[in-house]
């Protein structure tokens, strides 16, 4: 089935939701099912599942009872429009390149070759001003861009133009950053003594529109202080600054794996690093890895037998997906599987920290397997396995 046909199928399923207009609970249940179909239909490179869910449950769902058939269909049709967006990244380190120079997924442009709306936006942005946006968004964006380094001269260096298309804007934006990094990788190899960096922002413009808008390429979410987390942060401080055992060293390593997955990995490989974090925490040795990974992970992550069986099955999926990535097989980004991998990695860290503090665990397995020490994760889990 072609991508166009898969989009049509998902859209037709969304259109059928109108029949549940008067039954909100049924509408929500069916909308949740459709959201999961994004991955099953291999459309997560075009549609962000959370974007679809928000549109169905909030944007459309909140006014569902007041919509007629025609209005409902129009909202669904509008959602499924594939849009094309050009993004422009200022690469300040570059000099003396030919204008319109092909680089990876895009081209390098001088400032004078940029579309007029992008030039005007860049000039104002270099002065710390945001233009052409609604007043409420203007204030928010100005706060965000106070935290971003923007060159004072938009004519410095070159502008890397990257074109992307997708249904969800967040995917177009994300893909633009991925394509830009891949394009800069070419220069990093061609001239290894130089360093080029993707800026923390880009300027976008949708095809067919004459209006530029800003895009932050990093994560600038606010993280307010929460006193309830003081104890956990203090404990992790100890692990990061002065790990006192093999298990604490492994927790520190697992944090590194998660950081790589979060910040430096393309989406389709993030799962590898999250699973590597789990594996590093619970496995010592190279025999029967899949079995031990499933068994130990399931016991750590769940207390009840039925939930352990579910976790075991999911962990098997995770390990198989991880192995495909590790062995060079073609892999596609699975949003839900990747989400679970990161969630399980974090959960393992918290559970092992608890066991270190309450049960005195220090290692994954004994140095000498013939001797029982009583302070290893392997012995702790074996006691649960064989006592039940």
pTM of the model: 0.64
Q: Is 287 exposed, middle or buried (0-12, 13-18, 19+ CB in 10 A)?
A: exposed
Q: Angle of helix 377-387 relative to helix 335-359, nearest 10 degrees?
A: 100
- Cα–Cα nearest to 284, from 350, 216, 381: 381
Q: Is 308 exposed, middle or buried (0-12, 13-18, 19+ CB in 10 A)?
A: buried
- Residue 345 pLDDT: 94
Regarding whether 54 and 133 lie in a shared domain, the answer is: no
Which residues make Cβ contacts (< 8 Å) with residue 331, sequence separation at least 6? Answer: 268, 269, 321, 324, 325
Task: Show the 3-state SS of 170-193.
Answer: HHHHHHHHHHHHHHHHHHHHHCCC
When pLDDT is cut at 50, 70 and 90, the band that residue 146 belongs to is: low
Q: Say what percent of the chain tops pLDDT 70.
A: 93
Q: Where are the alpha helices (DSSP H) in 229-304?
A: 230-241, 246-263, 267-282, 289-301
Residue 293 lies in a domain: yes
The distance from CA 8 to its chain's CA centroid, rounded to whole angstroms, is: 26
pLDDT in tens, 37-78: 998 899 988 999 999 999 999 999 899 989 999 999 999 999
Q: Extract the tokens encoding 348.
A: 């393992």
Regarding whether 103 and 122 lie in a shared domain, the answer is: yes
Regarding whether 91 and 11 lie in a shared domain, the answer is: no
> Would the pLDDT of 192 be above 70?
yes
Residue 221 lies in a domain: no
The answer to whether the CB of 265 falls within 8 A of the CB of 273 is yes
- Residue 221 pLDDT: 46
Regarding whether 367 and 293 lie in a shared domain, the answer is: yes
Last residue of a domain, one of 216, 241, 272: 216
Q: Is 180 exposed, middle or buried (0-12, 13-18, 19+ CB in 10 A)?
A: buried
Rounded Cα distance, 122 and 113, in Å:
13
When pLDDT is cut at 50, 70 and 90, the band that residue 131 belongs to is: confident
Residue 162: in which H helix or E strand, if any? strand 158-166
Regarding whether 65 and 93 lie in a shared domain, the answer is: no
> Would the pLDDT of 147 be above 70?
no
- Residue 286 pLDDT: 58
- Residue 148 pLDDT: 72
Task: Show the 3-state SS of 328-369.
Answer: CCCCCCCHHHHHHHHHHHHHHHHHHHHHHHHHCCCECCCCCC
Within a 10 A sphere around the Cβ of 222, how many other Cβ atoms? Answer: 6
Regarding whether 185 and 310 lie in a shared domain, the answer is: no
* Higher-scoring residue by pLDDT: 220, 17: 17
Regarding whether 346 and 261 lie in a shared domain, the answer is: yes
Q: If you search the block for the tokens 């204030």, which residue do you land on?
A: 139
> Would the pLDDT of 132 be above 50?
yes
The answer to whether the CB of 178 falls within 8 A of the CB of 266 is yes
The answer to whether the CB of 107 falls within 8 A of the CB of 180 is no
Regarding whether 359 and 273 lie in a shared domain, the answer is: yes
- Residue 220 pLDDT: 47
Mean of the pLDDT values across residues 199-207? Answer: 91
Regarding whether 364 and 270 lie in a shared domain, the answer is: yes
Could you tell me how many helices (H) and strands (E) the chain has, helices first? 14, 6
The answer to whether the CB of 42 falls within 8 A of the CB of 332 is yes
The answer to whether the CB of 164 falls within 8 A of the CB of 172 is yes
Regarding whether 362 and 261 lie in a shared domain, the answer is: yes
Mean of the pLDDT values across residues 146-170? Answer: 89
- Residue 165 pLDDT: 96
Residue 222 lies in a domain: no
Task: Name, of 185-199, 225-239, 327-341, 350-364, the range with top average pLDDT.
Answer: 350-364
Regarding whether 206 and 126 lie in a shared domain, the answer is: yes
Write down how long the chain is.
388
Cα 237 to Cα 37, 41, 240, 277, 358: the distances in Å are 41, 43, 5, 19, 18
- Residue 388 pLDDT: 57
User: Residue 68 belongs to what domain range?
Assistant: 3-79
Give φ, ψ of 318 to 5 degrees.
-65, -45
- Residue 369 pLDDT: 67
Residue 231 lies in a domain: yes
Last residue of a domain, one of 31, 46, 79: 79
Rounded Cα distance, 110 and 96, in Å:
10
Residue 11 lies in a domain: yes
- Residue 129 pLDDT: 81
Quote the number of domains for the chain: 3
Regarding whether 370 and 248 lie in a shared domain, the answer is: yes
Question: What residues form DSSP beta bridges with 214?
Answer: 203
The distance from CA 41 to its chain's CA centroid, rounded to whole angstroms, is: 19
* Higher-scoring residue by pLDDT: 112, 387: 112
Last residue of a domain, one of 53, 79, 105: 79
Mean of the pLDDT values across residues 231-241? Answer: 90
Of 23-37, 160-174, 236-250, 320-334, least confident by mean pLDDT is: 320-334
């Amino acid at each position: 089935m072609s991508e166009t046909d898969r989009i049509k199928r998902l859209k037709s399923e969304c259109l059928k939701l109108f029949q549940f207009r008067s039954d909100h609970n049924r509408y929500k249940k069916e909308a949740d099912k459709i959201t999961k179909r994004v991955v099953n239909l291999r459309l997560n490179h075009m549609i962000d599942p959370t974007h679809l869910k928000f549109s169905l449950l909030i944007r459309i769902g909140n006014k569902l009872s007041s919509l007629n058939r025609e209005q409902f269909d129009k909202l669904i049709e509008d959602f499924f429009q594939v849009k094309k967006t050009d993004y422009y990244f200022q690469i300040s380190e570059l000099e003396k390149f030919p204008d319109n120079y092909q680089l990876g997924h895009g081209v390098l442009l001088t400032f004078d070759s940029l579309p007029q709306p992008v030039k005007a936006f860049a000039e104002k942005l270099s002065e710390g001003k945001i233009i052409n946006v609604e007043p409420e968004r203007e204030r928010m964006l100005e706060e965000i861009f106070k935290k971003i380094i923007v060159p004072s001269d938009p004519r410095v260096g070159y502008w890397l133009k990257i074109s992307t298309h997708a249904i969800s804007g967040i995917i177009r934006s994300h893909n633009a950053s991925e394509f830009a990094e891949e394009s800069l990788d070419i220069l990093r190899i061609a001239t290894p003594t130089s360093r080029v960096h993707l800026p923390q922002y880009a300027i976008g413009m949708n095809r067919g529109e004459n209006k530029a808008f800003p895009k932050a390429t990093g994560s600038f979410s606010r993280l307010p202080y929460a006193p309830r987390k003081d104890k956990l942060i203090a404990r992790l401080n100890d692990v990061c600054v002065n790990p006192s055992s093999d298990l604490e060293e492994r927790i520190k390593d697992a944090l590194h794996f998660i950081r790589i997955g979060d910040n430096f990995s393309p989406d389709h490989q993030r799962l590898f690093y999250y699973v590597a974090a789990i594996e590093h925490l619970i496995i010592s040795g190279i025999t029967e890895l899949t079995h031990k990974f499933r068994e130990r992970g399931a016991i750590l992550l769940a207390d009840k037998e039925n939930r352990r069986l579910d976790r075991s099955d999911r962990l098997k999926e995770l390990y198989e997906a991880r192995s495909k990535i590790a062995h060079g097989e073609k892999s596609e980004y699975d949003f839900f599987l990747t989400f679970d991998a990161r969630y399980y990695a974090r959960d393992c860290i918290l559970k092992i920290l608890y066991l270190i503090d309450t049960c005195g665990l220090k290692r994954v397995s004994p140095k000498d397997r013939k001797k029982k020490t009583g302070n290893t994760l392997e012995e702790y889990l074996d006691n649960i396995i064989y006592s039940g």
